[in-house]
Amino acid sequence: MRGATGVSPQDYILGVRPSRAKDLLAETDLTVAAVARGVGYEDAAYFSRLFTRRTGVSPRAFRQREQRIAVDLDGVAPGEGPGTG
């Protein structure tokens, strides 16, 4: 794998998991524990430490930031648009 991608399988997985976690945090209302399980970590606290170390921000703070950005771009908070009430 290293020859084809330039990274080891472990480094590839360590890169994919945070990327997928970011997508889940930004696009779903799953709990941090559910996101952790969804990307292969049974221990949510361990996942949170790794995510924070890798991204520089906690999963909760990342989600809050992404939601603020979505509101700024759309002018409407997630779940408050037309057809949601």
Give the domain ranges of the chain. 2-74
Give the model confidence (pLDDT) of 37-69 as tens digits. Answer: 999 999 999 999 999 999 999 999 999 998 888
Interval 11-20 mean pLDDT: 81
CA distance 37 to 34: 5
Scanning the structure block, which residue is given the tokens 């924070």? 52
pLDDT exceeds cutoff 90 at 14: no
CATH 1.10.10.60 fits 2-74, yes or no: yes
The reported pTM is 0.71
Question: What does the pLDDT read at residue 1?
Answer: 62
Question: What does the pLDDT read at residue 16?
Answer: 80
